[in-house]
């Protein structure tokens, strides 16, 4: 395929994209990297704005689909707004569906599930990410922070059985109950 200059090289657009080879939109990638730095620095609102900008820049560049990384981290930052939590989960799920080989996206999905109170799905997502990268330190740290469930007090009964729940609360280690 020849471009406007008569070469058979891919047509590079002025915004830094290369639609044939999938090179990223440079301004979008720059906004994404700044968003990551803001997120690491604890500036969630700034990070959200930068991830949103990266998504918009990617769309404007004519990309067929948004980078799953952008969606995943945008979804992670949406968790700060209780009204946008369903959208946060949707963004992270879509990202994992599109890029199922990226352990970082599974970590973000796990964090979102955990913030929503769904420990079982959070654990599944983290384990899928760990299966992709067994030495992924952030996932290992996340799993250790989640903690490990102890065995039910009465193992032959279901974990949610009234006796297991009641006895588990009675024997649980931690702060003493006030009388």
The secondary structure of 144-175 as a DSSP string is: HHH--PPPPSSTTS-TTSHHHHHHHHHH--SS
What is the model's pTM? 0.73
Run means of pLDDT, 10 residues per run, the chain, 179 residues: 42 41 73 95 95 93 90 95 94 96 96 94 95 95 86 88 88 53
User: Domain 26-151 - what CATH class?
Assistant: mainly alpha
Residue 9 has a pLDDT of: 40
Whole-angstrom Cα distance, residue 166 to residue 73? 39
Tell me the domain boundaries of the chain.
Answer: 26-151, 152-179
């Amino acid at each position: 395929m020849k471009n406007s200059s008569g070469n058979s090289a891919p047509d590079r657009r002025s915004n830094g994209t290369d639609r044939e080879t999938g090179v990223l939109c440079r301004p979008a990638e720059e906004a994404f990297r700044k968003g990551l730095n803001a997120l690491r620095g604890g500036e969630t609102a700034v990070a959200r704005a930068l991830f949103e900008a990266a998504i918009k820049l990617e769309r404007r560049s004519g990309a067929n689909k948004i980078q799953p990384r952008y969606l995943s981290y945008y979804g992670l930052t949406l968790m700060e707004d209780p009204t946008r939590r369903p959208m946060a989960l949707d963004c992270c799920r879509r990202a994992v569906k599109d890029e199922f080989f990226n352990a970082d996206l599974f970590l973000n999905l796990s964090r979102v599930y955990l913030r929503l109170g769904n420990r079982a799905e959070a654990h599944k997502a983290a384990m899928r990410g760990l299966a992709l990268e067994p030495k992924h330190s952030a996932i290992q740290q996340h799993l250790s922070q989640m903690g490990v469930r102890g065995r039910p007090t009465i193992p032959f009964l279901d974990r949610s059985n009234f006796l297991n729940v009641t006895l588990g609360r009675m024997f649980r280690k931690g702060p003493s109950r006030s009388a």
